[in-house]
Copies of this chain bind each other. A is one copy, B any other.
Amino acid sequence: MRATTVRGAGDLRVDQVPDARVTEPTDAVVRVLMACVCGTDLWVYRGVAGFEPGQRIGHEFLGEVVQVGSQVSSVAVGDLVVAPFMWSDGNCEFCADGLQSMCTSGGMWGSKGSDGGQAEAVRVPVADGTLVRLPKDVDRALLPALLTLSDVLTTGHHAAVCAGVGPGSTVAVVGDGAVGLCGVLAARRLGAERIIVLGRHEQRTEIARRFGATDVVPERGQEAVHRVRELTGGHGARSVLECVGTEQAWLTAIGSARPGGAIGYVGAPHEVAGLPLGRLFVRNLTISGGMAPARAYIPQLLPDVLSGAIDPSPVFDLTVDLDHVAEGYRAMDDRSALKVLVTP
């Protein structure tokens, strides 16, 4: 089968690799119908995150089950399934807590030794704990929206949940990437009344408005903080979603948070020297987040995606086939694409 492999910084190839197959009785194999490229994949592409030459990549995919191990009972050959960005056994104490992203036997697609989603097929370990079945008769036009459950929508939702968003909330979303936009959508779904998105890329802030943003702050740094405070009666937003992961984004998030408020953090940290504890302390801030337990959230969000109550699919603005996946990365790297859909 064909699979995307990482050869070096900026060097992704689609190689012939051994076919994915069941090796443990708890495995399943999923033929990928749709995958996509994540902002964190770019850190590998740019050579910032470590990788082993030949390592697979891609942690968001949905597809059809084509093989199951003898102990798999929750999915069967022919089922349409969506995979969270990590596998999880569903049995450990963290899975029991609904924190499958900390599963003691969990792992992330594309990590060393595992299959990646940007491929024709994926071997799925602990399939019963990992995969979520979709309705057999699902409208295929919904697949891009359903694919966002893998990571970007569930991660945006995690940010909103961790920031304590609820009915009537005032929310500031730092970042107009796909996660930030899904954070807007998730905040609106949770009942937020005021959603301020910080971003200056017009196509993206336009999507943010469609997703429910009430205000757009194109300023940056201290000016952005000043603007958010101005929009919120002087003190900032009670809930802030940090969807970038850089030092600058964190300073903006902290400054935009109302004293006593909460920052939901989901941006994978990079280039952050250290969080300024003193600023958190004097403003009595809570920060909460990390790697979203996508597996816990998928069943919660799925009905609303299926019904069309929320439609995150506009985050995809470019589709490439597997053979042209490298073009997709280039487009995301130069910000000409927001998020790239990959169809094998």
Chain A residues within CB distance 8 Å of chain B: 93-94, 97, 99, 101-102, 162, 235, 250, 259-260, 262, 265, 268-269, 272-278, 280-291
Contact = CB atoms under 8 A, between A and B. Distances in A.
A281 B273 contact: no
Given A94-B259, A99-B260, A260-B97, A284 B278 contact: no
Contacts of A275: 274-275, 277, 280
A94 B261 CA distance: 11
Nearest to A293: B284
Nearest to A233: B93
A296 to B, nearest CB: 11
B290 A284 contact: yes
A128 to B, nearest CB: 22
20 contacts: A93-B235, A94-B260, A101-B284, A102-B260, A102-B283, A102-B284, A250-B277, A262-B288, A265-B277, A265-B281, A269-B277, A269-B278, A272-B274, A272-B278, A275-B277, A280-B287, A280-B290, A284-B290, A285-B288, A287-B288
B284 A291 contact: yes
Contact of A281 (B235, B260, B268, B280): B268
Q: Which 8 A-B pairs have the closest CB atoms?
A: A274-B274, A284-B290, A286-B288, A275-B275, A102-B259, A99-B260, A269-B277, A272-B277
Nearest to A290: B284
Nearest to A287: B287
Contact of A99 (B259, B269, B281, B291): B259
Given A94-B260, A269-B277, A291 B282 contact: yes
A101 B259 CA distance: 10
A235 B103 CA distance: 12
A215 to B, nearest CB: 20
A285 B162 CA distance: 10
Given A94-B259, A272-B277, A274-B275, A284 B99 contact: yes
